Structure formats: C-alpha cells, structure tokens
Amino acid sequence: MRNIKKLYKAEYRPMGDLETWSPLPSRNLQMIDPFIFLNHHGPQIYPPNNDGLPFGPHPHRGMETVTLILDGDITHKDTGGHNSVIEAGGVQWMTAGKGLLHSEVSSEKFKKEGGPLEILQLWINLPKRLKMTEPHYRGIQKDQISTWKNEEGTVKSQVIAGNFKGIRGAFDTPTSVDLSLVHFQKDSSVQLEIPKNDNIFFYVIHGELEVNEITVPKLHLAEFSKNSEILNITAKEKSILLLGHAQPFEEKVVFGGPFVMNSEEEIRQAYEDYQSGKMGAWEN
C-alpha cells in the first residue's frame, strides 16, 4: 500500500467575514506538483442582505483555477467574454494561460436572501510549454458532472477531470490531471489504483478517512510517497474528499501574487502586461 509521508493541517486565514482554511501553500508545504494552491471557504451561513464573496476583478496568468461550489453560488465574469452563475454542486474550470481578468462574486439572489456557503478553489500549475496558451473557461452545473458509485451506493465520486474507475471526467483539460470529489457514507470503503509516479492531492473536506491504515481528519492534506499504486480508503464517518493526481512537471515555479511562472522576469512581464491592458479591460 502507498505510504503517507506526512499530514498537514489547513491554516485558518479568514478574509474579512469569509471563513477560509488553506492547506497549500503553507509554512511546511509549498506545493504538490502540479497542485499549487487551495483555499477552502466556509462552511458558514450568510445572512440576508449580505455582501457575498469578495473576489472582484483580478488577473491570472500561467495556471488554472478549479472552483468547486459545495453550497451557495458563484457569478463568474472574465475578459474573455464568459459569464455564468454556477450553483451548489457545480464546478468552474478556468485556464488562465497567457492572462485574463476575472471576478467571482455571489449572485444578486444570494446576496439578497443569504444562505449556506462552502466553496473550494484549487490552483493547478501549467507547464512552461502551456503558460502562454489562450485562456479558456467553462462552468457546469451539478447535473452535468459524471458520477461513479459503488454497488452499495455508499461511495459516490463526482468525476471532474481525467477518470475515476473508468468514468470520464466532465472537463477536458490541457494537461493529464485526474480530479474528483468523493462522497463517503460512514463505514464505506473503496480501493483505488493510482499510477506510482503520479503525485497525489488528498484533502479531507469533511469527516474522517482512514487511508492505508492512517487516519486523515477533516481539514488535513496528506502527502504520499511513491512506493505503491494502491490506496485503501475507509470512512470513519460521513466524509467528503477532494482527490487529485497527476504527473509532476518538475519545473521551476515562481509565484507572483495571481501569476505563476518559471522565472522572476516572467513575473515582472506579467505585471507589465496586466498594467498595460494586455490581459483585457474590465467593463462593469
């Protein structure tokens, strides 16, 4: 069985009234190549007449954002001309590529009525050869996402990208990333085979899972060795897991706020291009 090297507790990093947990990057773990960032917002209840999410127009270059809406909604808009409102259970996948501006805010309905909110945003790096590709966005609702279930119906996986036990993911992506949101009933279990050379992204959103005889509590990210292909996962209670895996790029990574490139010079160029309007002009 594949060994767990270390567990990392997500750090609490609230953004005003938005409760936020972040396991990556942290003081102890910079990245799990090519997975580079995760923010877990909520769960929390917003009152009526709230201000909603605070993510107004901002740029990105050199990476992808995957946004999973567990509760609440997101209104997406970008300078590529895309607009959508994705509701609970839906997912957004944006390939920033050479750069664009986007905003992710709550719908007018959510701001007026309030309600539960829980959202995860994962950043996935792009390899050097794709850093300057054309931007792309797609948002899909819950009923458009492929699912896998075990015979008992106690484990269900929403297959976002790649495949999960032969079920193809909802998104076609520029790199070979497998990503799923896996729901477990208490005492349910599943065995997975993940290529030995892939890096695994394993974050427990809710509940508590036992993985190859090691307990992983909620709000923890597990780092794995590469000694085996086998993961045996058992839920000690009702749980939700964000599970990804991919071949590492093994390239130099330089962070510059919303930009993720391969050198400091490329970061400086990204800021110049943003400030000169090459990533688009925002129109309200």
Domain ranges within the chain, ordered by starting residue: 4-275
Q: Is the pLDDT of residue 217 over 80?
A: yes
pLDDT in tens, 131-188: 999 999 999 999 999 999 999 999 999 999 999 999 999 999 999 999 999 999 999 9
pLDDT digits (tens, 9 = 90+) for 231-253: 999 999 999 999 999 999 999 99
The DSSP secondary structure of 108-130, one letter per residue, reads HHHHHH-EEEEEEEEEEE--GGG
Q: Is the peptide bond before 14 cis (omega within 30 degrees of 0)?
A: no
Partners of 68 in the β-ladder: 91, 120
| DSSP for residue 145 | S
Alpha carbon 87 to chain centroid, angstroms: 16
Per-residue pLDDT tens digits for 60-112: 999 999 999 999 999 999 999 999 999 999 999 999 999 999 999 999 999 99
Using DSSP's 3-state secondary structure scheme, residue 261 falls into strand
Mean pLDDT of 197-211: 98
Q: Provide the 8-state DSSP code for 22.
A: E
pTM over 0.75: yes
CB 82 within 8 A of CB 136: no
Known binding site for Fe cation: residues? 58, 60, 102, 104
Quickly state the pLDDT bin for 226 (edges 50, 70, 90). very high
pLDDT of residue 126: 98
Binding residues: 58, 60, 102, 104
Q: Which CATH number fits domain 4-275: 3.30.2350.10, 2.60.120.10, 1.10.10.1100, 3.40.50.150?
A: 2.60.120.10
The yes-or-no verdict on residue 1 having pLDDT over 90 is no
Q: Taking a C-beta distance cutoff of 8 angstroms, is the pair 48, 112 a contact?
A: yes
**283 pLDDT more than 90:** no
